[in-house]
Structure 1
Amino acid sequence: MTAPPDPPATAAPPETLQELRALAVAIAQGEGGISLGAKARGALSRILDLTGDPVLLSITTLAERLEVSPSTLTRLAHSLGYSGFPGFQQVLLSASMSAPGAFYSRRAASALEGGSSTRARAARLCRENQANIDRFIEQFDEAAFDMAAEMIMAVPRVVVHGIRQFHSIASFLVYGLRMIRSDVALLDANGLGIAEGLALLGEGGVLISTSCAPYSAQVVEVAAEARKLGIGTVALTDRTDSPLVQSSRAAILVAHETSFLSNSIGAFTVAVECLVNACAATRPAAARRALRERDRMIERLRVEIG
């Protein structure tokens, strides 16, 4: 009699927050060997945003915060490979109970006590941006960042797509990349058509898409189409369940919650600076040559004074 075959081996669940965040991105990209529905992906993304929050101490309070049932969180833990919620919770609690940037939030609250002067409101917004930058570096995915930088520097042509508020982020990224490499442009910068821009980019190029919730429909649709066409895609966005993550090969995530009347892009600006530096570091000799040539041209054309 033949013995029954052994059950298939299952991958060990993430043991650190960094591994858990990387798995969430992989799931959104259709990889990682785990399939989650939209509701579960959204819950996981919001849970990761709560890193260091005391609400994680209880499945009941966490479920209330997320407006889901405790059983939903238990099923999510099982789907991620944990034996139950406690194993999932242990990883979530591996961070300090003082959330990233909590110092700045407390300082902001203190600054607002006794009234809401112009200076107090400015102090609050600045410290909220400091908190977002803190969260960005504490949740920094070095592997994704390195992949994005290598993709950007390895191809002949790069286009960046961001509209409305994120047009400024896209423009800044184009400016920064042009300092160290050639053939970088905004998608449809001349109004000649997005389809034409993607066609010119071809399979040998990279599209960098940037947006955050609520996401610009056009940016999301173009990124998805680019992925279908075999174009390399990089996302500069906010959460693991962002639709831009789903169509990306490399995703860079940036927090943006502040008291600004729209989406705050302060931390996104810092992330762009980090990305440009990372790209330069992949090809240091070429970057130095490009910067020297840029300086010579600025001097010849007398672009700068003083």
Structure 2
Amino acid sequence: MLDDQPRSDDTPSGETPPPTGLDAVNQQLAEAYPELSPQLKLAAGYVLEHPVEIAFQSIRKSAAAAQVTASTLVRLAKRLGFESFDQFREVFQSAVQAGPVELSGRANQLRSLASQTDDQVFLDVGDAAFDNIGRLFTADNQTRVRDAAKLLLGADKIAVVGFRDTFACAYHFAYVGRIAMPNIQLIRGQEGGLLTELSTFGEGDVVVAFGFEPYCAETMRALEIARASGISPIVVTDTLRSPLVPGSTITFTVANATPHFFPSILSAITLIEVLLAECVAFGPDALVDNVASFESRMRQMGAYVENS
């Protein structure tokens, strides 16, 4: 366990009032994370990744799991303006009690239906998929989706960034999104063209960036360019400790656990569907007209095979 000596960045926040909800707590921790001492980084990382445990475990058990001392968790709580760890923990208890949509019953049903087989991998992937999506549908995310849709609808232009494992997410967002919103552009960054592709974006524009660990250098570079140009970033990533988070206007963290050898993009794809549906539902009538026009053009061009 690391030593627990106070550091200059461990000082409490003074008279700053504490955040009133879990979303605000997570955002403040994410913003402060790069500047924290090693001890507080361990504590903050555990808090960000284990809200249920923080809500219901004793402080000593949480500290042991985070590989810090209990006093470090107290200092972290006070840094955010809380008078005590108990007051800090109440925020987590309230949020966890609201909870995500429970899909565990469906996962159990999947396991029961397939219990006649010995294919444990099949069952585990199913369990992980249900759990990942269940974690997406929370009250906090519902509010965040509405805010993101408003930001997208108000943008002059929308750039979409995702490389390697998240390119499929970026492509899906851009392809489906452009049907309703032609101002969406997929950034490919091929042959060193990242700067050129982003050069036409600026104030009033939005970039939607996808990135999971291991984080791509190209995605980091795209966000650096975006922030320098005044573009508002919407980041979809796997944890608030992600290097993509600082400076983002709106951040979504999606669960991507899976027995598969590569991180799951199921929750990210589901989030894309929710975001784009929200934009069409609450956007101008022109978006619906764009969808109808697209379908009509595709049919006229013979893009679809008719099922006679």
Give TM class, smaller chain: 0.7 to 0.9
**Contact 2:202/2:231, CA 8 A, preserved across alignment:** yes
**Residue 5 of structure 2: aligned partner:** none
Match of 1:246 in 2: 246
Q: From 5, 19, 34, give the equivalent of 1:14.
A: 19
**Contact preservation (8 Å) 1:144, 1:250:** yes
**Residues 235-244 or 182-191, more deviating:** 182-191
Aligned partner of 1:132 in structure 2 is 132
- Whether the 8 Å CA contact 1:53–1:97 is kept in 2: the answer is no
Structure-2 residue corresponding to 1:103:
104
Residues 202 and 226 in structure 2, CA contact (< 8 A), matched pair in contact too: no
1:191 Cα deviation after fit: 4.3
- Deviation (angstroms), 1:152: 1.8
Aligned counterpart, 1:235 = 235
Match of 2:7 in 1: none
- CA displacement at 1:199 relative to structure 2: 0.6
Gaps of 5+ in 1: 1-7
Distance 2:92 2:178 in 1: 40
For 2:35 and 2:279, locate their aligned partners in 1 and report how far apart those are by CA, in whole Å: 33
- Aligned counterparts of 1:205 and 1:190: Cα–Cα separation in 2: 22
Q: Which amino acid aligns with 1:183?
A: N
Q: Report the residue type matching 2:19 in the other structure.
A: P
Where does residue 165 of structure 1 map in the other structure?
Answer: 165
Q: In structure 2, how many angstroms separate the alpha carbons of the residues matched to 1:71 and 1:212? A: 32
User: C-alpha displacement at 1:287, in angstroms?
Assistant: 1.4
- Matched with 2:36 is 37
Matches within 5 A, 1:8-157: 10-15=15-20, 19-26=21-28, 28-29=30-31, 37=36, 39=38, 40=40, 43-53=43-53, 56-94=56-94, 95-96=96-97, 103=104, 107=108, 117-118=118-119, 120-138=120-138, 140-157=140-157
C-alpha separation in 2, matches of 1:108 and 1:27: 37
Report how far residue 288 of structure 1 moved.
1.0
User: 8 Å contact 1:108–1:127 — kept in the other structure?
Assistant: no
Q: TM-score, normalised by structure 2?
A: 0.82
CA contact (8 A) 1:21 1:48 kept: no
Partner of residue 207, structure 2: 207
Q: How far does residue 132 in structure 1 lie from its aligned partner after superposition?
A: 1.2
Q: Secondary structure at the match of 1:244?
A: coil
CA offsets, 1:241-292, max 9 Å, x none? Answer: 2222212111122111222211111111101101111221231412111111
User: By how many angstroms is 1:75 displaced?
Assistant: 0.4
User: Aligned to 2:257, what secondary structure does the other structure show?
Assistant: coil
Instruction: Read off the aligned partner of 1:20 and give its amino acid letter.
Output: L
**CA separation in 2, counterparts of 1:187 and 1:73?**
41
How far apart, in 1, do the equivalents of 2:279 and 2:288 lie? 12
Cα 1:98–1:246, aligned 2, differ >3 Å: closer, same or farther? closer
**CA distance in structure 2 between the partners assigned to 1:173 and 1:206 by the alignment:** 13
What amino acid is aligned across from residue 21 of structure 1 in structure 2?
A: D
Query: 2:3 maps to what in 1?
Result: none
Q: Contact 2:198–2:225 at 8 Å: present in 1 too?
A: no
- Whether 2:294 is the aligned partner of 1:297: answer no
Deviation digits for residues 77-115 of structure 1 (CA, Å, limit 9, x no counterpart): 11121111111122223324999758369839976x999
Q: Which residue pairs with 1:3 in the alignment? A: none
- Deviation string 1:173-224 (CA, Å, 9 cap, x unpaired) is 0012111111322113664600101112233422111012232222123212
| Aligned 8 A contact 2:99 2:138 in 1 | no
Residue type matched to 2:278 in 1? Answer: A
Once the two structures are TM-superposed, the CA of residue 20 in structure 1 deviates from its matched residue by 2.3
Alignment-mate amino acid for residue 146 of structure 1: R
Gaps of 5+ in 2: 1-12
When the two chains are superposed, the root-mean-square deviation of aligned CA atoms in Å is 3.3
* Cα distance in 1 for residues equivalent to 2:35 and 2:71: 15
Letter in 2 for 1:175: Y
Moved more, 277-286 or 260-269: 277-286
Q: 1:285 to 1:207 in 2, by over 3 A?
A: same
* DSSP 3-state at the match of 1:23: helix
Residues 73 and 108 from structure 1, CA distance in 2 versus in 1: closer, same or farther, beyond 3 angstroms? Answer: farther
Please give the alpha-carbon distance, in whole angstroms, between the structure 2 residues aligned to 1:29 and 1:20: 14
